[in-house]
Structure 1
């Protein structure tokens, strides 16, 4: 099973682990893995020293922090922490994610942490069409 990148869908992630996103039993595994990731991500949010200097020194910076604002070395430590200290239920699934490749050190933990960090980003409300064009009646 090849690893998937952090931007893969939940379904692609689960398929790569040999799980079915429509199976309630497999969904329990997913939720347990997500809980392991939330536990570690919450700890990352307790200390601004986990952040890049440019963000940590900004007085407006408040938790929850965005994943891309966390120092890469702290990201890797968090990924290892999840994989090494996972619950007995999820440890075998995290073991499948060990890699020294592009998504290392553990693509499973990395995917879950990335998702957790993305879920904290504010969503833009739908404000109409995304593209703007010149309207001679309104702009003319």
Structure 2
């Protein structure tokens, strides 16, 4: 995980429509940047749907929600449409941002070690500074946890 108090690494990634989205365009707003393993899997779906349900409350607190995985733009589009997700999903197929935020790590699945995205969430303030960092978050609880972190 990146250190709290450090500048969030800038990036530009394509969203679910293939449009480039740069982190810097959200300066002046809080950003909930969450990394998840895969579209359309049970935990990731629950996490995304919970973020979607709470989105009006995030907006009231001046925050945007951005989800990042290594899935393709086409996969994100299907995922967003299937669950009517009202926030931006970013495609990091080359894992550059996933690695920059230190969420590509060794995982232990049923005794077998593999590399993958560790479900993690960062809260970035209006100036682009990481103010909270949570690794190995629980998919179902994470959206409410992040809402509670916003002042």
TM superposition score category, shorter chain reference:
under 0.3
Q: Which is higher, the Rg of structure 1 or of structure 2? A: 1
TM-score normalised to the size of structure 2?
0.26
TM-score normalised to the size of structure 1?
0.27
The structure with the largest strand share of the pair is 2
The structure with the largest helix share of the pair is 1
